[in-house]
Amino acid sequence: MNPRVVLVRGTRTAGGASAGCCGGDVRPFDEGGSHRHGPPDDAVGAVYRALRAALPAEVAVEVVSPSNWLWLVPELVRGGRRRGLRGAALRRSVRSGMAVESLIVDGAVLGSGRLPAPAAAVAAVEAELLLQEGAGSPPGRAGEPQVG
Amino acid sequence: MPAFVVAAVVGALFFLGYRYYSTYLAAKVYALDGAYRTPAHEFNDGVDFVPTNKHVLFGHHFTSVAGAAPIVGPAIAVFWGWGPALTWIVLGTIFAAGVHDFGSLAVSVRHKAKSIGTLAGDVINGRARMLFLAIIFFLLTLVNAVFAVVIGNLFVAQPGAVIPIVAEIPLAIAIGVYIYRTRSSALIPSIVGVIVLYALILVGNAYPITLDGLADALGVEQTRNVWVVLLFVYTWVASRIPVWVLLQPRDYINSHQLFIALGVIGLGLIIGLNQIQAPVVNDVPEGSPSFFPFLFITIACGAISGFHSLVASGTTSKQLDKETDARYVGYMGAVGEGSLATGAVLAATAGVAASQAEWEALYPDFATASGGAVGNFVAGTAQFANNIGIPLELAGVFAAVVVISFAATTMDTGVRLQRYVIQEIGELVKVRALARNLTVATTLAVVIPLAMALIPGEGEAGYTFGVLWQLFGTTNQLTAGLALSVIAVWVTRRGRNPVAVLVPLAFLLVMTTWALILNLRNFVEDEQWVLAPLDAIIFVLALWLMVEAGLALRAAFRDRGTVAPTEGGEPDAVALANPETGTSDRPLGGPSGNDRR
C-alpha cells in the first residue's frame, strides 16, 4: 500500500457543507470581482504545496475537511491500529488527528491543531516515511502529536 | 403496499442506473479518460485546486447538495399520488439528474474547472452571463422566500421546536469559538451540540413558544408572518458574520442530523412495516393543477436540480483527482438526493396516515396539500421515529428540529449567495453601492425574498406557498436547463451523441414553459399582481434560454462535421493546437469561436 499523508483543513477554509440543496458549498462565479468569496489561503495550502513538491508521486497527499469524520475516523483508526495503538492511546490519536490543521502520515499524527512551517512539515513527513520504510515499526510515543 | 418494499425497489433501480447508465454515459457520452490531467493536478494549489480521494470528495459533494429542498417538493407532489411522484423521482434521478450532475462535473473538469456561469458565457456570449445571473437571482430569492415560509409554518405547527432551534444559534457559536480558540477536533463538540440540541427538545416541548400574542398586538393576521420577518432579520445578521463563527459549526451539527434522520427513517420503515396509505394515482378534485406539467416543477431537487451544477462546477470539479471519478462523485450525488426524496415520499404517504381516508383528509386539495406538506413529512418522520421507541410527541418536535435546522442553514447560505449575486450584478451595471457596500447588498438580498414570503395567501396553509414553491422549482429547472445546454454543446462539439443530454433538456424546457404559461393565466385571472409579473419575467428568461441554447446547439452541430469524435485517452486536436488553453480540450465557442462574439 502506498503511503498517505493527510492534511486537515483549518477553521477558515474548512468550507461550508450540509446546507444542502439549495444552499451548499457554492461559488457561482470564478472571478468574484471585488468581492472574492473563495476561501482565503492558510497554512494548509503552503504545507500542501511544499509536501507535494518534495514527496514522490506515489505518496498520496490528501486535504480533508475536519467535518469529514466519515472518512477521517476510519482512516485514523485503521492507521492507529496498524501502528499497534489500542484503547486510550488510539482514542487520543484519533482525537488529535481530527483537529483542524493536523498532519497525519499513515495514521501517525505528526501535528495537531497547528501546522508546522512548510520546511519542518516536509522534514517531519520524510523522517516518518523513512522510519516506516526502515524499521516497519511505529515511531514516536503512541497517540501523541510529534511536531507542531 | 409496505413502504420498505417500495424503498427496496427504488434502491435496486438506482443501483441499476448507476451500474449501467452511468457507465454508458462515462464511456460513450462524456468519454472520460483516466489518464487525463485534471485541473486539480494542473493548478494544484492546496487551497481550491486539490486532487482529492473520490470518497472524500463524494462526502463534500453529497453534503453540499443534500438538504431540505428534496423533502418539500416530494411531500407536496404526492398530492397526485405516490406513483407519479416516485416515477418522476426515479426516472428523473437516473436519466436527468445523473446526466446533469455528472455532466456538469465532466464539462467543468475539461475546461479548467470553470463554474457553470462562466462556461455559459463561453458557450454563447456575454448575454448568457446576464441570463445566468438573472436566473440565479430569482432562484435564490425564491429559495429564501419558500424556506422562510417553511420555517414559519413549522414554528406555528410545532411551537416545541422554537427553544431548541433558537438555542442552536448560541450553541453553534460556542462550538465555533471553541474550535477556533483551542484548534481541536470538531467531532466531540458537535456531537455534544447535537445531544444538547435534542435534550432541549424536552425543554421546548414543555415550554412551547408561540407568537400569537405578538401577532395580535401588531395586528398581523398570520403568526407565520411574524416568524418570517424575524427570520429575515436573523439572516441579515447571520450572513454578514464570518462563516467559521456560525455557519460552519451549524453545518457540523447538521451533518450529524442528516445521518440521524436518514437512519431514523430507514430503521422506522423496516421495524414499523408501515403501509403506503396514499393511492397510487390520486383522483384530484376538479380545478386542481394537473400533474402534467406541474409535478415536474414541484419536484425539482430530488429529480433534477440546477443547483447541483453550481456545486459540481464551482468546488467539486476543482478537486477531482481522476476524470473517471466524476462518474462516482457526480452520478452518486444525484442518486443520494433521489434517495432522500424517496424517503420524503414514503414519510408523506406511509408514515403520516394509518388509512387512506386519513391520508385523503390531509391532501384534500392542492392548497392544503402544499401548505401542509412539510408538516406531513414531519408527522410521517415522527411516526417512523415512534416505531423505534421515541414518544410520538417528542418525535414530532425532533423531526421539525431536523427540517428547520436544514432550512435555516439553507437560508443563511442563500442570503449570503444572493449578496454575491447582487454584488456581481452591481459590477456588471457599474453601480458602486451594490458592488462594494455590504450593507446595501445584504439588505437587498433580504428585503426582496421577505416581500415574496409575505405575499397575501389563503390562510396559514395558503395557496401562495404552493405557487411560490412551483416558481422556485421552475427557476431551479431553468438553471438545470442552462447547465444541460452547456453540456449538450460540449458533447456535440466532441463528436459524441448528445441524445442522452438533449432528451432531459427538451423535457425540462417544455415542462417549465408549459407550467409558466398555465400559471401566468391563473395569476392574471386571480389578480395576483405580484406573482403574475414574476411569472412573466421567469417566462421571458425561459424563452431567452431556449433561443440561446438553440443557437449554440445549431452552431455546435454545424462545427461537428469539421472535427473527429473524441475518444477517451485520445489527444485532442484542438488542445494540441492551442496549448495555451491549458486543460480545455475543445473551445466551447467552437473551433472558430464565432458564437462567442
| Mean of pLDDT values over A76-83 | 92
Dihedral sign from CA coordinates of B213, B68, A73, B176: negative
DSSP 8-state symbol, A116: P
DSSP β-bridge partners for residue B185: A99
Q: Are strands A108-111 and A103-105 parallel, antiparallel or unpaired?
A: antiparallel
B117 touching A (Cβ < 8 Å): yes
Which one-letter amino acid corresponds to residue B84? P
pLDDT of residue A139: 45
B180 touching A (Cβ < 8 Å): yes
pLDDT of residue A40: 56
CB distance A22–B69 less than 8 Å?
Answer: yes
Q: How far is A122 from chain B (nearest CA, A)?
A: 15
- Name the nearest CA neighbour of B51 among A66, A4, A28: A4
CB distance B424–A29 less than 8 Å?
Answer: yes
Q: How far is A100 from chain B (nearest CA, A)?
A: 6
Q: Counting beta carbons within 10 angstroms of the beta carbon of residue A119, is it exposed (0 to 12), middle (13 to 18) or buried (19 or more)?
A: exposed
A66 touching B (Cβ < 8 Å): yes
Using pLDDT thresholds of 50, 70 and 90, give the confidence band for residue A131: confident
A34 touching B (Cβ < 8 Å): yes
pLDDT of residue B80: 97
pLDDT at B124 over 80: no
Using pLDDT thresholds of 50, 70 and 90, give the confidence band for residue A80: very high
C-alpha distances in Å from residue B413, one per residue of A28, B173, B235, B489: 13, 16, 9, 31
CB distance B55–A71 less than 8 Å?
Answer: yes
A15 touching B (Cβ < 8 Å): yes
Share of residues in chain B with pLDDT > 90 (%): 61
- Name the nearest CA neighbour of B500 among B128, B186, B158, B30: B30
Contacts of B136 in chain A (CB under 8 A): 28
Contacts of B255 in chain A (CB under 8 A): 17-18, 67
Nearest to B139 among A19, A22, A42 (CB): A22
pLDDT of residue B64: 79
pLDDT of residue A43: 82
A49 touching B (Cβ < 8 Å): yes
CB distance A19–B47 less than 8 Å?
Answer: no
Sheet order of strands, A108-111 included: A60-64, A4-8, A103-105, A108-111
| Mean of pLDDT values over B370-396 | 94
Question: Among B44, B63, B105, B315, which would you mutate to test the A interface (most chain A Cβ atoms within 10 Å of its Cβ)?
Answer: B63
- SS3 per-residue string spanning B190-244: HHHHHHHHHHHHHHHHHCCCCCHHHHHHHCCCCHHHHHHHHHHHHHHHHCCCCCC
Pair B342, B17: CB distance under 8 Å: no
- Name the nearest CA neighbour of B149 among B537, B364, B477, B467: B467
pLDDT at B351 over 90: yes
pLDDT at B583 over 90: no
C-alpha distances in Å from residue B260, one per residue of B205, B254, B266, B267: 20, 9, 10, 10
- Name the nearest CA neighbour of B476 among A20, A18, A22, A28: A22
DSSP 8-state symbol, A140: S
Total-model pTM: 0.88
pLDDT of residue B204: 96
- Condensed to tens digits (0 to 9), the pLDDT of residues B484-509 reads 999 999 999 889 999 999 999 999 99
| Mean of pLDDT values over B186-194 | 90
Of A23-37, B37-51, B433-447, B489-503, the least confident: A23-37
pLDDT of residue B573: 36
- Condensed to tens digits (0 to 9), the pLDDT of residues B144-182 reads 999 999 999 999 999 999 999 999 999 999 998 998 888
pLDDT at B455 over 80: no
Q: How far apart are CA B541 and CA B546, in angstroms?
A: 9
Q: What is the mean pLDDT of chain B?
A: 88
Dihedral sign from CA coordinates of B180, B182, B186, B190: negative
The H or E element that residue B502 is part of is helix B499-525
pLDDT at B591 over 50: no
pLDDT of residue B233: 96
Q: How far apart are CA B183 and CA B283, in angstroms?
A: 58
Pair B109, B329: CB distance under 8 Å: no
Q: How far is B276 from chain A (nearest CA, A)?
A: 27
Question: Among B42, B47, B89, which would you mutate to test the A interface (most chain A Cβ atoms within 10 Å of its Cβ)?
Answer: B47
DSSP β-bridge partners for residue A5: A61, A105
C-alpha distances in Å from residue B549, one per residue of B330, B399, B473, B483: 23, 42, 20, 10
SS3 A99: strand
SS3 B14: helix
pLDDT of residue B218: 93
A23 touching B (Cβ < 8 Å): yes
- Condensed to tens digits (0 to 9), the pLDDT of residues A16-51 reads 544 556 665 566 666 654 455 555 556 888 999 999
What count of other Cβ atoms lies within 10 Å of the Cβ of residue B525? Answer: 9
Q: How far apart are CA B555 and CA B593, in angstroms?
A: 10
pLDDT at B344 over 90: yes
Four-point Cα dihedral A129, A135, A139, A142, nearest 10: 120
CB distance B182–A113 less than 8 Å?
Answer: yes
pLDDT of residue A10: 78
A147 touching B (Cβ < 8 Å): no
A77 touching B (Cβ < 8 Å): no
Q: How far apart are CA B547 and CA B10, in angstroms?
A: 36
| Mean of pLDDT values over B11-23 | 98
A76 touching B (Cβ < 8 Å): no
The H or E element that residue B165 is part of is helix B162-182
Q: How far apart are the first and last CA of chain B?
A: 57
C-alpha angle A14-B427-B244 in degrees, rounded to nearest 5: 15
Using pLDDT thresholds of 50, 70 and 90, give the confidence band for residue A140: very low
Q: How far apart are CA B485 and CA B545, in angstroms?
A: 9
- Condensed to tens digits (0 to 9), the pLDDT of residues B85-96 reads 999 999 999 999
pLDDT of residue A23: 60
Please name the residues between 25 and 84 in chain B that touch chain A, using a CB distance below 8 Å.
Answer: 44-48, 50, 52-53, 55-56, 59-60, 63-70
SS3 B275: strand
Q: Give the rounded distance of the alpha carbon of A42 from its chain centre.
A: 14
pLDDT of residue B466: 80
C-alpha angle B161-B167-B170 in degrees, rounded to nearest 5: 155
pLDDT of residue B460: 45
pLDDT of residue B326: 97
Pair A35, A43: CB distance under 8 Å: no
Place of cell 486536436: B573
Q: How far apart are CA B476 and CA A90, in angstroms?
A: 46
pLDDT of residue B584: 46
Name the closest residue on chain A to residue B120, using Cα atoms.
A29
Four-point Cα dihedral B162, B166, B171, B176, nearest 10: 140
pLDDT of residue B561: 67
Share of residues in chain B with pLDDT > 70 (%): 92
Phi first, then psi, for residue B128 (nearest 5°) are -65, -30
Q: How far apart are CA B19 and CA B8, in angstroms?
A: 16
